[in-house]
Chains A and B, each alone.
Chain A
């Protein structure tokens, strides 16, 4: 993916933002900041305060707890929301597997962001429900 591609166009292809109009997408594109990580770099740090909410726009990341891999994340996946919604530090590291591009929202802004955009909140809820279902299936 060319790194010069307009973020609004990228967001329009992600499930989380699928219900937004073009102006709404533009506002979201300007609200998030873009960040870039190289292989092995930590994005979320287990037990550290002040983390943000991330959406992957290119690349892959690993979720690790105490050094062991628990899940892989890729384009369109998001992370950081669990600790922000609970007001607690992350319980896992998220580490870039290769070059990784994300958009990030400052942690303190997530609550207001979601409350102003119920369609994104609903999409996020669906994704979390799917995660929970997978987790329960795995346990059983």
Chain B
């Protein structure tokens, strides 16, 4: 790929510099290009794909793409069902991942995903300077940055960091530093007949355990809190259904064990490890002898020296704190794309997080971010079409029923219309919901899709009138069609006086 693309973007001055060639960086670069924003994109990798060049470990994604869906492939509504393809304006560049899927699963293999990303780069003429390692960062005056790289210095006023939440992370537990991280898991055959302790009960922990079921003699999964299961808590961040076989084995008494226990320390023994744990939901001390231990304890963001530059972090330094527009809260001009955007929390209603950790969420963040950067930092004017008053109700309900941005980023992205005294009703497009509800703008309405505590999915309408924003929940629908007469009547009542 490096040869295919040559070596674009030599060191120098650029309006925008993007770091990273995973799906977040690629989507940001593509979307900036289509807005006519000059930028450089650099990556230390030798080809596109980011983490998908190597992970998931067991070579199959947990985000689905439905080759056959209720919407025609390549249309905007189809994106709802295809969680893995990047977004393009050209029809031939849309829905690329399903073209490479062989039909054995609706979860693409890692290789199928990587091929989809490579095809996106080749077909959409996204150029990347590969093999260019970002090494350090410094300020150039008050509002510009200099990135020192293996190829030289890049200067910019707007930096987009899209390096993924990819750095293996372990909590400070005595002895855990001696334990291989998830990324260091050995080939499965090497676990044949072994007793394996997996520290962590999120998706990476369950993925490893699931992959080792045919090999290990016994698997113990342990972490302090009970496992959160996606179908119960309505979140892709919880353990996904397809990884739950180890849990069923435990519940049915199959011999593998899922423990709620805090690991106090781990010691090496002549033949493996001895782990000392305390039960949490069921108190009591536990000593576990294992041939192998795997720390499935998560990842952090390789921010390099950005914290020294003033970029505030949280989650034990693992994520940068971000505004609703994915800008550092403490260092203006530093933006984020890709899975790092999960650090911009949003409303997180009923505790359900955004899908910004996954492609089907952050691809929309990146497109919205590109427009934001273009408009607020580079003076690009993006057209906002007018909407006829009689069309407003139907337009908003169609968005709630079909818009992939609203379905894939529930309670996080919204479609907004402004009631402009001069221009009439203006389509503001997709924007962060947190920005809309906290912004002191003029009269406006935004519609989002939300899931409540009972799992009911419904449209939610936010109306800003005289500076105050009120929330209105519309009726749900068993078949998830929100454009029926009941919702039309409800929305018309909510908007009374505005249209």
Residues of A within 8 A of B (CB): 3-7, 21-24, 26-27, 29-31, 34-38, 41-42, 45, 47-52, 89, 99, 101, 104-109
Contacts and interface: CB of A to CB of B under 8 A. Distances in A.
A105 B453 CA distance: 13
B317 interface: yes
Contacts of A52: 348, 351
B222 to A, nearest CB: 11
Given A6-B172, A27-B260, A30-B223, A49 B349 contact: yes
Given A6-B316, A45-B347, A47-B470, 8 more contacts: A24-B280, A27-B280, A29-B224, A34-B314, A35-B314, A36-B343, A89-B471, A99-B312
B321 interface: yes
A26 B349 contact: no
Given A4-B317, A27-B225, A38-B329, A105 B351 contact: yes
Contacts of A50: 347-350, 411, 450, 452-453
B365 interface: no
A1 B293 CA distance: 32
Nearest to A102: B314
A51 B452 CA distance: 11
Contact of A108 (B262, B351, B471): B351
A31 B279 CA distance: 15
Contacts of A6: 171-172, 316
Nearest to A36: B314
B490 interface: no
Nearest to B329: A38
13 contacts: A3-B317, A4-B317, A23-B280, A26-B224, A26-B262, A34-B314, A36-B312, A45-B347, A49-B349, A50-B450, A106-B350, A108-B351, A108-B453
B330 interface: yes
B278 A22 contact: yes
Interface in B344-383: 345, 347-352
Among B279, B321, B438, B470, chain A packs the most CB atoms within 10 A around the CB of B321
Given A4-B317, A6-B171, A22-B278, A30 B351 contact: no
Contacts of A108: 350-351, 453
B279 A107 contact: no
Nearest to B319: A36
A3 B313 contact: yes
Nearest to B223: A30
B105 interface: no
Contact of A47 (B316, B450, B471): B471
Contact of B278 (A23, A34, A36): A23
A101 to B, nearest CB: 6
The 4 closest A-B pairs by CB, nearest first: A106-B351, A50-B349, A36-B314, A23-B278
Contact of A4 (B316, B330, B470): B316
A100 B413 CA distance: 24
B225 A30 contact: yes
Interface in B460-477: 470-471, 473
Interface residues of B, number: 41
B437 A45 contact: yes
Given A3-B317, A36-B312, A49 B224 contact: no
B283 interface: yes
Contact of B321 (A4, A22, A36, A107): A36
A23 B279 contact: yes
Contacts of A109: 351
A99 B312 CA distance: 9
Contacts of B473: 49
Contacts of B316: 3-7, 34
Contacts of B223: 30
Contact of A27 (B172, B281, B350): B281
Nearest to A93: B438
B225 A31 contact: yes
A23 B222 CA distance: 13
B236 interface: no
Contacts of A5: 316
A34 B283 CA distance: 25
B323 interface: yes
A4 B312 CA distance: 11
Contacts of B348: 35, 50, 52, 104
B147 to A, nearest CB: 24
Output the residue of A4, A6, A29 with the most chain B CB within 10 A. Answer: A4
B225 A49 contact: no
Contacts of B471: 47-49, 89
A22 B265 CA distance: 13
Contact of B351 (A4, A29, A107): A107
For A49, A50, A51, the residue with the greatest tally of chain B CB atoms inside 10 Å of its CB is A50
A50 B233 CA distance: 14
Interface string B37-73: 0000000000000000000000000000000000000
Contacts of B281: 27
A21 B283 CA distance: 10
A139 to B, nearest CB: 28
Contacts of B260: 27
A113 B295 CA distance: 27
A115 B453 CA distance: 18
B282 to A, nearest CB: 10
Given A3-B317, A36-B312, A49 B452 contact: yes
A27 B314 contact: no
Q: Which of B281, B317, B348 has the most CB of A within 10 A?
A: B348
